[in-house]
Structures are given as structure tokens and as C-alpha cells.
Amino acid sequence: MALILWHNPRCSTSRKALALLEACGLVPDIRRYLDDPPSRAELVALNLPAHSLIRWKDAPELPRDLGDDQILDHLAAAPKLIERPILIGPRGAAIGRPPEAVLDVL
């Protein structure tokens, strides 16, 4: 299975995760999710808790008690709210916070 990194090159954490993968000799397929936003179905397919997928600091107006369906709707409509980076690998998906967390799905 190919590795797919949902990446924002302007994010230092996302750049660190990519550098870590490259230092391990891995070359993931890069998906610039802001340019190629994932569908709601793709967000669900990550099989990660919806609450962990949202960048709460970028969405201070959203109530913290939103349900999963509401969070997924917000993320599908506003991909800039998706936490980054996300690596999809042979053992599932992981949010790279800290960047080393992406290694969990290899």
C-alpha cells in the first residue's frame, strides 16, 4: 500500500513529518488537501475520532460539544480546519502531532 500524506507545506509540523518519513527512506504520495479537499466519505474512511480531526484553535467559534456528524460536515466544507498532517499507511491513518506519530501506521 502506498503512503499518502495529507500535507500543508506552510505548516512546520507537516514539513517535519514529511522530513521524518524521507529520513526513513520513505516517499509518500503528497496530497495537498487544501488544493484537493477530501470528501466527507474520505474523512470518515480515515477511521479517526472526528473530534481529533479538527483544528480547534482555527475554529474558536465552534462549540466543543459538536457531534461527529457536525464536525465532519464542517471539515468537508472548510478543509482548512482539518488537523495536519495526516498519514494514511498500511496500518490505518495517523495525525502527525507530534510528527513522530505518523510512524505508528507504517
Considering the candidates 11, 48, 59, 66, report the single residue annotated as catalytic.
11
- Scanning the chain, the segments in alpha helix (DSSP H) are 12-23, 40-45, 50-53, 68-77
Residue 32 one-letter amino acid: R
Phi, psi dihedrals of residue 37, rounded to the nearest 5°: -60, 140
Among this protein's residues, is 24 annotated catalytic? no
In angstroms, the CA 89 to CA 20 distance is: 15
In angstroms, the CA 98 to CA 106 distance is: 15
Q: Which residues are catalytic?
A: 11
